[in-house]
């Protein structure tokens, strides 16, 4: 698996909210080691057996080590939650929250990087490693099975669909990571491809992109320089009109930039097969694994 500590100890920031509580339950059922929750003013409560504290520093005083956080805090307060996690020595922060202003995201991403902290998101479904039974996010566990295929994606729903399709053909996933659908995110495709290249549990990679931005083109340039593992791709948004946002804040075509066609050309130039529809991904995966 990539990016996850060997001994994962998670704090849920915003644990007493509806989404925080629901997904704490689902993460616990999957096997994730959630050691604490944080909601200011709710100290002493328990959510699905997880003790709640007013702050991360207070949680650490009582329970000791915490090395990962997932944030379900509303957008106006989410940046402060990130800063709190970073300043308390947490090295992996998953930001599920959407609608965070881009300028705020840029600031906390820059600050986190300066402290050596990995931020996944914002607006991400998170990260899941089926072999280790670790899920820090909101992905449906039933869509993932242990295996050797890494998935990195900008789209949550498509990720689940593609994972389910490869499971039906006898494959599974090592780690699946949603980088997030906002214009600025803590990780980009290149960051995650580098991690998969170092990971002995990952045999090949599926890259799920979408319209908007140039993250896929940057990934293609990186792969073209000599990536050591097979990669296949799918780009969502073929029918999206220019200037109209498709789902995510970052999924918007501006002029000639960010189109499906431009991204496909870049990837195919880097010898990455690109599926025209999600159902074709597994066929392309089989082909690259036979090479």
For 133-156, b/e burial (b = at least 16 CB within 10 A) is ebbbbbbeeebbbebbbbbbbbbb
Q: Which residues are catalytic?
A: 248
Q: What are the CA-CA distances from residue 245 to residues 210, 220, 251, 254 (Å)?
A: 11, 23, 6, 10
Burial of 200 (0-12, 13-18, 19+ CB in 10 A): exposed
Name the strand (E) or helix (H) holding 197: helix 189-198
Q: Hey, which residues does 92 pair with through a beta bridge?
A: 68, 118
Torsion of CA 44, 4, 138, 112, to 10 degrees: 80
Strand partners, 134: 129
Report yes or no: 175 and 3 within 8 Å, Cβ to Cβ: yes
């Amino acid at each position: 698996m990539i990016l996850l500590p060997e001994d994962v100890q998670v704090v849920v920031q915003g644990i007493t909210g509806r989404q925080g509580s629901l997904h704490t339950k689902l993460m616990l059922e999957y096997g994730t080691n959630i050691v604490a929750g944080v909601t200011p003013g709710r100290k002493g409560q328990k959510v699905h057996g997880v003790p709640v504290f007013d702050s991360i520093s207070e949680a650490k005083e009582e329970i000791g080590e915490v090395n990962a956080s997932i944030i379900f805090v509303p957008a106006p307060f989410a940046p402060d939650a990130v800063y709190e996690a970073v300043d308390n020595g947490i090295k992996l922060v998953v930001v599920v929250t959407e609608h965070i202003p881009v300028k705020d995201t840029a600031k906390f991403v820059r600050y986190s990087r300066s402290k050596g902290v990995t931020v996944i998101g914002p607006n991400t479904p998170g990260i899941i490693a089926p072999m280790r039974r670790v899920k820090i996010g909101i992905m449906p566990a039933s869509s993932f099975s242990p295996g050797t295929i890494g998935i990195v994606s900008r789209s949550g729903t498509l990720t689940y669909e593609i994972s389910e399709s490869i499971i039906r053909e006898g494959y599974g996933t090592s780690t699946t990571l949603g980088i997030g659908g906002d214009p600025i995110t803590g990780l980009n495709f290149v960051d995650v491809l580098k991690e998969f290249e170092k990971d002995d549990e990952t045999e090949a990679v599926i890259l799920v992109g979408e319209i908007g931005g140039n993250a896929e083109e940057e990934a293609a340039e990186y792969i073209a320089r000599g990536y050591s593992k097979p990669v296949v791709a799918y780009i969502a948004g073929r029918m999206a009109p220019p200037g109209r946002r498709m789902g995510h804040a970052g999924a918007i075509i501006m002029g000639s930039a960010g189109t499906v066609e431009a991204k496909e050309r870049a990837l195919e130039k880097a010898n990455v097969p690109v599926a025209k529809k999600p159902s074709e991904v597994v066929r392309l995966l089989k082909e690259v694994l036979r090479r």
